[in-house]
Structure formats: C-alpha cells, structure tokens
Amino acid sequence: MENNENVKTENQAPAENRQEGKAEAGARRPFRRHFSNKKKVCRLCAEKIKHVDYKQFHLIKPYCTETGRILPRKVTGACAKHQRQLARAIKINRNLALLPYND
Ligand SMILES: [Zn+2]
C-alpha cells in the first residue's frame, strides 16, 4: 500500500459550500417518508370486541402472516390491549399447531 490516497484529498468539496441549513436539509431524506399521517383505528375496538380468544381464529387471522408471524402494531394499528391479547392468542395457536412457529 502506497500513499496514493493523499492525492485524492484535493478533490474534496471546500468547507464553504457546506453551509448550515438549506443545502444539507434538502439532501437529507425527510423523516417518516414511508408512512402516512392517517391515524389508524384498532379494528377490534371499533367492533367492540372485549377479549380475543384463541379459538376465534377469524379474529386472529388478519393480525398474523401466512407464515405465523405476529404483525406489529405499526402495521395493523391495533391498540396495546388488543395487541397483547392477539399475541397471546397467536402463541397458543402455534402451540396447538394451528399456526407455524417459523417464518
Ligand atoms: Zn383495541
């Protein structure tokens, strides 16, 4: 290895071009770019379902993938209470071999 890298340092942009504010902010990706601002409503709360039972497979199904993964709240919009109930129900269903464990 020879010190060829020292030659390339001259090509770097001068510090004057990097002004604070506009130039940098424009290049940067806006935060939350892939998400919509629409507020999600918990479907189980909307239907006034108090408790999700492991036997109610039709309720659990939309909250997990075909491979048995529990979908995050970020995706489904379920509230914390129902997400906990769903997670428990899905885990019971896995144990009963109604859903697979692995992805
Ligand atoms: Zn809910």
Q: Give the number of domains in the chain.
A: 1
Give the distance (Å) from ligand 1 centre to CA of residue 73.
10
The whole-model pTM stands at 0.61
SS3 content of the chain, % helix, strand, coil (to 5): 45, 0, 50
> What is the block-wise mean pLDDT of the chain (103 residues), using blocks of 10 residues?
52 53 59 69 92 91 89 92 94 89 79
- For position 67, which CATH number holds? 4.10.640.10
Range of the domain at 60: 43-95
Give the distance (Å) from ligand 1 centre to CA of residue 87.
13
Give the distance (Å) from ligand 1 centre to CA of residue 33.
26
Give the distance (Å) from ligand 1 centre to CA of residue 77.
9
Asked, for residue 8, whether it belongs to a domain, the answer is: no
Spatial distance between the Cα atoms of 74 and 35, rounded to a whole number of angstroms = 10
Give the distance (Å) from ligand 1 centre to CA of residue 40.
11
